[in-house]
Structure 1
Amino acid sequence: MNNQSSQAANGLKQADAKAFESAFSRGDYPRALKAANALVQRSPDSPQVHEWQANALGRLEQLDEAVEAMQRAVELVKEPSADHRLKLAQYQVLAGKAARAVEVLESVVADEPENVVALAWLSRAYHQLGQNSRGLEVNDRLMSLDDRHEEGLLWRSRILDQLSRHDETMDTLWKLQEVNPKRVGVHNHIASLFTKEGDYDEAEGHFYREVELDPANGKVHSNLWMTSHYNPAYSGADLFRMAVEWDRQFGERSSLGRASTERDVGKRLRVGLLSGGFRMHPVGQMILPALQSLPADQFELMFYSSNQYIDKLTQSMQVMALRWQSIEGLSDGQLDQKIREDEIDILIDLNGAGDGSRYRTLTREPAPLIVKWVGGLVDTTGLESVDYLLSDHIETPVGVDDRYTEKLIRLPDDYICYHIPRHAPDCNALPALTNGYITFGCLNNPAKLSAPLLEEWATLLHEVPNSKLLLRGIQFESERFRNKITATFTGHGISEDRLLLEGPAKHAEFLETYQRIDIALDTWPYSGGLTTCESLLMGVPVVTRTGPTFAGRHSATHLVNAGLPELVTDSWEDFRARVKELVADLPNLAVIRAALRTILLDSPVCDGPRFASHLTTALRAIWQRHCEGKAPEALSFRKSGAARFADEEAPVKLALAAPGQGVDWQLESPVLAVDNGAVLASRPDARELLGSGRVVMLSFDPAGKMETVDHLAQYGEIQHFPYTALGNGQPATLYMGEEVEPTSLPPVDSEDDVEAHEIPSIALDSVEGLPAIDVLALDARHDSLGILQHASEALKNTLAVQAGVVLEPASEQHPDFSNVQSLMRKQGFRFHCFVGEKKKSWFPDDMAIEPRMASEVESVEALFIPGHERMRSLSEAQRVRFAFILHAIFGAKDVAFRILNEMDGGLAAQYLESERLVKVSDESECVAAVSAIDEEDTIAGELEKLMSEAY
């Protein structure tokens, strides 16, 4: 470069440097960034210009880019100073990369042990990682150097709060306020502590002082709204108005409008989950079983975590994630952009208005559909942008829809699904039997201990002489708070010796507290949620009085769905009466305690697959409606699982996501599957089979195993015939009893107390106009032999028969393997394999071991397929049909492949690849290897020959 060019370049650099400094100093950060970018282009090896670029990016909240720019600046310095490294770490912390920041900050502190700024940021980084004990150690070092360091005090207060050191947190905040009376966030934090103490008036005072300091801070208003649900002074109407007003005052509408993705009813839906509770937290514990059971072929899950905490429950969720991202460092606008770029179809908010809230992102409408579920779910969000709210018929009974800005999705059971922690202690015997007195207990957040509630509990304690009350929570580590609660009760005439007030504990120890409680008392007007599930898990019944909002009915829905509706009351008189009924019958209370965990585990409250099935229906239904161009509408489920929109007459008919790219089966018509005993209809994948459009079912249900098939009819064609059997056409007898599974075969044990009921039976050969049956499934508890003896014509074109057979038949009527096989052979079928078995356990039903060992095989499901001669007579269309049946219904993919390979080697290779069974690089090699297998050499073939020789 000549001198003139060099001078010109230097002149440009100086101009850009002045432009940067001028723009940055006056707060014009976009112009400053433009100048910094120009400097980086001209002087890419200059640490200074990269640092300037990082500073501009940081002010614009482009924090990931700021980290990259500052990282480059540090790398370009031969020996970066502590200040350079500190700035890098600061940007890393702000960008949600606390783990990386810790390494850098530790190096700074190692070089400069008394660098209080570095210590403050290091304590913050550990806090953001959830490593609060380590963060406190660092903060202690900082306080020993400067006990009035403002940033140090701020993060100390948050660390102590997370460590459940209530009074120390409050003392730290008072000191921070002395240091800087106008520090934003301090009054908000103090307000949250007063809320935890049930001092709602004092809390409100601090919330309003925070608003004076920071009027535009919508999070303070949302915190105030959230905590107002604890306060009995607020009505449901008051809280609704506050929610709607928040949206009007603080909502941000994006100039891009509502996000849009491809409207395809049959696509795999991309679902975004937004929360700070993807861990051992009420949110994580109430969604994990449902998410684990969601069908992967229907949904892709994208997790947006508003913090950086990771524990074992987090790891259980991460394995389900298509993508996992901590969004702690993203602004509301950046998160909006991120969700749009990820093309989320349905965004589910699991934060609410409380900690970690991203309401302003939601108001920007970053996804075509937005749903509220769990996580700060206390009432309506009040946000116009939120389309649906996941609820149930107990949380939101008929008549409350006008108090919600969202359309309600009323699930058929509970609106949550409880995850049982592995460290749950065993249940114990009823404490009252040895204590000689009743111990009431409440382990809910003491923030829910409203003054009217404590007065009612005092009345109850008077009415149950000698009883005690055990309360436990973070706040009770404070002597001041303990004295306050004690004074409240003594003011109502309850002596201090009847109160057991205990501070926080690790979760396993916390659960052990229930081993000292006989009856749990629920809080009001904000009821228990997770604690109610935990109480039932530990065998302790919970009595609740419903409150005026969604938050006041959490316990009600958990109790009703656990089969305990009698514990739900609507007045204090009924509440006390129900408690005293339990107290009056201690032997019965002891029985309840022994059975309660089993009752809970067997209920919908803990049934992940059941919940996931309903959630799948809900999400695909609202998506389908969206694709049809219809506005959101309330969706209500029947107990069967069928769902109907409020503006439609019939249950919704759903389209499921089509299978991935694979074999196009080209079936001329759907496969007709007929079963006796609801064998196929009760399969876990019945919904998917019907939803594929390639299977229709006729289900005969002699014992009424399925109350309805409405939940399946919304996916495809199925006809259900309850209390009707396949058979010989003559009336059949159904035997029913408490200790006997319903059967149409004479009971094995004549001493069983059974009732006989006559039901109709239908002979398949007598049914006129019956289409060709492709699959027949028979339950071993019914007359399979009679069915097969009267189905020779109906089964002429059948391709597969699944027959339940008894291995040790008690009479000639019971379908043992040899008799069933003989009938099947006469009709041109051969035995292929066993596809299932049922075992009997001789341990008592109430045995504590889970699972109870069951070693004796009672019956098996045998699969029969066309024999060799019959196979040779099948047309090509029938062979494709048969391959599909083996693939989709019986999972016999090897045989399905073989049939396809005999017809078309290319098609067979495509099948292998689509099923990820093998990566075929040379089709001819694959075909040659398979065609060398002779049918007679298979295990099934050998067994068939042996059986033939036996006859």
Structure 2
Amino acid sequence: MITTELAKARSAFEAGDYVDALMVLNGLMDETRDPQVLLLLSDVFEKLGFDMDAAELLAELGKSQADDALTLRAAKLFFKAGDEARGQLHGMTLFERKAHDRDIAFLLAQSFRKGPDPRFAQVFLPSLHDSDEEAHLSLAIDLAMSNEHNPTTLSIFSRYADLAPEDPYRLFNLLFVARNFCDFDRIAAIEARIAEALRLGDAELLAGESPYANLLYCGDERINRLATNNGAPAQISPAALARQRRSRPHRWGEKIRIAYLSSDFWEHHATMTLFQRVLELHDRDRFEITLYCYTPPHLKAFDEGGRERWGWPIVSLIGLSDAEAATLIRQNETDILVDLKGPTSDARLGILNQMAAPVQVEWLGFPGSVVNIDCDYVIGDKVVLPGSARPSYHEKFCRLPDSYQPNDPLHRPLPAAKSRAEVGLPGDRFVFASFNTPRKISVPVIDAWSAILRGAPDALLWMMIDGETHRANVLKAMADRGVDAAQILFAPKMAYADHLARLQAADLALDTFPYNGHTTTSDQLWAGLPVLSVKGTNFASRVSESLLGAIGLPELVAKDTTDFIAKAIELTTRPEEIARYKAHLREQRFRAPLFDAERFCRHLETAYRTMAERAQSGQAPDHFDVPALPPRTEPFATRPI
């Protein structure tokens, strides 16, 4: 009887008559719980969309039959039905026995990364690491990126790139991760491949690279513009958008209404470390400021009162589309929209392509042109934006007189110096320092630093490198270039004030190129540590020259890499010169323009008035330089150290 009815149900199932099959099987269930009946019934339930019922039967069968394949099917169906808890329960039962099974690991990782603590999904990364499946490696990449020190990250990106060697996006993702891990052999190999492609005229390759990543090794502004991944291309050309935007009617008020746009509005972000005092000093009789904020909640949680102290309205854009955000900015009659991000992580440049304001400006967040974005001006200075750079920008140059970079002399910590003994440095050795992010250490930089250490064998290089793999790669690169590991000292990350205190224990900071230290350089100068840099060829590589000029030490800009190496070696033998530089920084900290936030703010406001006056009178944007206020004759501030 059971055999006949089961055959009848199977025949109906195979014919696609799932309801008929269900009716027959329901009758059988009154007489038996034969595994064949249960298995066919689960198949019928799944076909009819009753995923939870199918999962429960498969879980029962998997347990009674000790059949892992059935348990895996049950877990998948629980997940499909939305029962994450039971899906994880049965999946983990399998994973305990089969941690090597990539399908099980993939299933569980997908579930746990959606849970309250996504970090638990990291447990499954080793199981996915060696897979050749696209989906497995793609998920492994997502998991690995949440932990920049995970030693498997680089090999995962390498395997993923190997699956599609002609895919430029995978190639440049691998290159970026290699930079984070200081894998200079891999970096050199990929850069050689890029150079050969460009030599052969294959510039389309760069469409797979982000603008920021390109700046880490390329100092050619003509090429920088070709790296467009992560951009926000306009539906029509930025020039056509600009014409439409500028022709829209606009009501100008007595005060100039400035909107700052960013995801970094919390006081300890590097941007606000520089900018917050200038923001506070804006003339409230002449300007109305609004901060349009899409700062993630978990980052706002790090703010310790800055958002209230700045004293301007903060309007959240979270949950709004770019078009909706632009409409809001427009409805608030914004005169000048200033984007503080550029094409960097989490930016919302698409808002600028929605005709948000009569004048649109890029400043501070990205050292270069924003390609495919409707933007009128880029704010810089005569060093970072020389006239020769104009052909590489569609924006007009607004050049401030001292430096493009604001600085905060009030809220920035200024702790007493830590002794060498406190930071683990010997008292009788010359100490070079490098506290830039490791990804800025290019192959030419590691070559130059190695030459310096070979030429000054008693000197040490103190580097902020975290992670055992990262440090091992640096030591290998140095050893390959003839430098003993005993000349390298590693420093961990630490709290900002403690970091500024330890900087003062070094003798001289060595800059990176072609991407200089930006906030890092100003931090070092603020702390009283002189910085040796190299004359650059694009915005990112000219920043330290700008900052050194604004603090009165232009002689610390070498004319080229050869000069950089020679100056560094020479300064190890001239302690009196190092002492003079440090004394100059102490004396000029509250005199020179670099840290004079009030002076900077007045220059910036002059720039905004010029932009607004041109727009209000119907004139198109054009290049202009802001005239300098008279030099200070007295310190602009005093603070105890």
The two structures have a TM-score, normalised by structure 1, of: 0.48
Answer yes or no: is 1:294 the counterpart of 2:287.
Answer: no
Give the structure 2 partner of residue 235 of structure 1. Answer: 220
C-alpha contact (below 8 Å) 1:231/1:525 kept by paired residues? yes
Asked if 1 retains the 8 angstrom alpha-carbon contact of 2:210 and 2:229, the reply is: no
* Residues 539 and 633 of structure 1, relative CA distance in 2, 3 Å threshold: same
Shift, 1:362, TM fit: 2.3
Deviates more, 1:240-249 or 1:530-539: 240-249
Q: Which residue of 2 aligns with 1:541?
A: 530
Q: Which moved more, 1:175-184 or 1:400-409?
A: 175-184
Q: Is the counterpart of residue 225 in structure 1 residue 205 in structure 2?
A: no
Q: Which amino acid aligns with 2:516?
A: S
Structure 2 CA distance, aligned partners of 1:179 and 1:581? 49
Structure-1 residue corresponding to 2:343: 353
Please name the residue that 2:96 is paired with: none
Over 3 Å counting, the alpha-carbon distance change for 1:503 and 1:851 in structure 2 is: closer
- Matched with 1:485 is 474
- 1:340 corresponds to which residue? 330
* 1:324 is aligned to 2:326: no
- 2:437 equivalent to 1:453: no
Seen in structure 2, the aligned counterparts of structure 1 residues 204 and 498 have a Cα distance that, compared at 3 Å, is: closer
**Partners in 2 of 1:577 and 1:501 — Cα distance?**
24
8 Å Cα contact 1:275-1:356 kept in structure 2: no
Structure with the largest fraction of helix: 2
> Is the partner of 2:589 in helix, strand or coil?
helix
Q: Give the superposition deviation at 1:622.
A: 0.4
Query: Does 1:193 pair with 2:185?
Result: no
Which residue identity lines up with residue 286 of structure 1 in the other structure?
A: L
Q: Aligned partners of 1:456 and 1:428: how far apart in 2? A: 28
- Structure 1 residue 174 displacement after superposition: 7.1
Q: Is the 8 Å Cα contact of residues 342 and 370 (structure 2) preserved in structure 1?
A: yes
Number of the residue aligned with 2:430: 438
339-348 vs 549-558, which moves further: 339-348
For 1:121, what is the secondary structure of its paired residue? coil
> How many corresponding residue pairs?
516
Identity %: 23
Q: Where does 1:247-262 land on structure 2 (aligned, <5 Å)?
A: 257-258=244-245
Q: What is the aligned partner in structure 2 of residue 371 from structure 1?
A: 361
- Structure 1 contact 289–607 (Cα < 8 Å) conserved: no
Distance 1:444 1:274, change over 3 A: same
Are the counterparts in 1 of residues 532 and 564 from structure 2 also a CA contact under 8 Å? yes
- 2:223 partner amino acid: D
Deviations 1:265-296 (A, max 9, x none): 65223222222222322212221111111112
Question: Does the aligned pair in 2 maintain the 1:520–1:541 contact within 8 Å?
Answer: yes
Q: Is residue 252–residue 360 contact of structure 1 (8 Å, CA) maintained in 2?
A: no
Change in Cα spacing, 1:116 to 1:243, as seen in structure 2 (3 Å) is closer
Equivalent position to 2:460, from 464, 468, 491? 468
| C-alpha distance after superposition, 1:844-863 (max 9, x if no partner) | x9xx99359xxxxxxxxxxx
Cα distance 1:146–1:500, how it changes in 2: closer, same or farther (>3 A)?
closer
User: In structure 2, do the counterparts of structure 1 residues 321 and 497 end up closer, same or farther at CA, with 3 Å as the change threshold?
Assistant: same
- Deviation at residue 488 of structure 1 after TM alignment: 2.4
Task: Output aligned runs, 1:641-652, within 5 Å.
Answer: none
Equivalent pair of 1:300/1:321 in contact (CA under 8 Å): no
The offset of 1:616, in angstroms, is: 1.1
Distance 2:168 2:425 in 1: 54
Assess if the C-alpha contact under 8 Å between 1:116 and 1:145 holds in 2. Answer: no
Distance 1:178 1:403 in 2: 34
Which residue of 2 is the match for residue 282 of structure 1?
270
User: In structure 2, what is the Cα distance between the partners aligned to 1:556 and 1:277?
Assistant: 26
Counterpart Cα distance in 2 of 1:456 and 1:574: 10
Give the aligned partner of residue 607 of structure 1.
596
Q: Distance in 1 between matches of 2:350 and 2:293?
A: 15
The structure-2 alpha-carbon separation of the partners of 1:463 and 1:364, relative to structure 1 and needing over 3 Å to count, comes to same
Aligned counterpart, 1:388: 377
Cα 1:400–1:187 shift into 2, 3 Å: closer
> 2:616 is matched with which residue: 627, 643, 651?
627
Distance 1:349 1:483, change over 3 A: same
CA contact (8 A) 2:383 2:546 kept: yes
1:758-779 Cα deviation digits (max 9, x unpaired): xxxxxxxxxxxxxxxxxxxxxx
In the alignment, residue 639 of structure 2 is paired with which amino acid? E
In structure 1, what is the Cα distance between the partners aligned to 2:451 and 2:221?
26
Instruction: For 1:748-759, list aligned pairs within 5 A.
Output: none
Structure 1 residues 808-855: Cα deviation after superposition (integer angstroms, max 9, x where no partner):
xxxxxxxxxxxxxxxxxxxxxxxxxxxxxxxxxxxxx9xx99359xxx
* CA distance, structure 2, for counterparts of residue 334 and residue 200 of structure 1: 41
User: Does the aligned pair in 1 maintain the 2:265–2:293 contact within 8 Å?
Assistant: no
Correspondence 1:495-506 to 2 at 5 A: 495-506=484-495
Contact 1:261/1:344 (<8 A) preserved: no
The residue type paired with residue 277 of structure 2 is: P
Q: Distance in 1 between matches of 2:231 and 2:606?
A: 32
Q: Contact between 1:235 and 1:548, CA under 8 Å: does it hold in 2? A: yes
Opposite residue 194 of structure 1, the aligned amino acid is: A
Residues 387-417 of structure 1: CA deviation (Å, up to 9, x unaligned): 0011112212343323321111111112122
Deviation at 1:257, TM superposition (A): 3.8
Which residue in 1 is equivalent to 2:515?
526
The structure 2 residue matched to 1:567, chosen from 527, 546, 556, is 556
CA RMSD, Structure 1 to Structure 2 (Å)? 4.5
The answer on whether the counterparts of 1:441 and 1:469 sit within 8 Å (CA) in structure 2 is: yes
Aligned partners of 2:230, 2:153: CA distance in 1, in Å? 32
Aligned to 1:925: none
Residue identity in the other structure for 2:221: G
Residues 224 and 244 from structure 1, CA distance in 2 versus in 1: closer, same or farther, beyond 3 angstroms?
A: closer
CA distance in structure 1 between the partners assigned to 2:143 and 2:476 by the alignment? 31
Q: Could you tell me the TM-score, scaled by structure 2's length?
A: 0.68
Partner of residue 151, structure 2: 167
Residues 1:849 and 1:168: Cα distance change in structure 2 (over 3 Å): farther
Between stretches 601-610 and 239-248, larger displacement belongs to 239-248
1:665-744 correspondence to structure 2 within 5 Å = none
Secondary structure in 1 matching 2:375: coil
Check whether the contact 2:258–2:288 (CA below 8 A) recurs between aligned residues: yes
**Residue 512 and residue 494 in structure 1: after superposition, are their counterparts in 2 closer, same or farther (change >3 A)?**
same
CA shift in 2, pair 1:322/1:425, >3 Å: closer
- In the other structure, the counterpart of 1:77 is none
CA 1:195/1:494 → structure 2, altered by over 3 Å: closer, same or farther?
closer
Counterparts in 2 of 1:265 and 1:180: CA distance versus 1, 3 Å: same
Distance 1:246 1:516, change over 3 A: same
Partner of 1:120: 113
SS at 1:435 equivalent: coil
Deviations 1:98-118 (A, max 9, x none): xxxxxxxxxxxxxxxx99767
Deviation at 1:471, TM superposition (A): 1.6
For residues 830-849 of structure 1, what are the structure 2 equivalents within 5 Å? Answer: none
Unaligned runs of 5+ in 2: 1-79, 85-106, 195-203
Query: Which ranges of structure 1 fall in alignment gaps of 5 or more residues?
Result: 1-81, 87-113, 124-133, 208-217, 642-704, 708-740, 742-844, 853-951
Q: Describe the shift of the 1:606–1:223 C-alpha distance in structure 2 as closer, same or farther (beyond 3 A).
A: farther
Give CA-to-partner distance per residue, 1:303-355, whole Å, 9 cap, x none: 22253321555741355465434435444434333433343221111111121
Asked whether the 8 Å contact 1:116–1:146 carries over to 2, the reply is: no
In 2 relative to 1, CA 508–406 (structure 1 residues): closer, same or farther, beyond 3 Å? same
Partner secondary structure for residue 536 of structure 2: coil
Q: Deviations over 1:25-61 (max 9, x none)?
A: xxxxxxxxxxxxxxxxxxxxxxxxxxxxxxxxxxxxx
Q: Check 1:292–1:559 CA distance in 2 against 1; reply closer, same or farther (3 A cut).
A: same
The answer to whether the 8 Å contact 2:453/2:460 transfers is yes
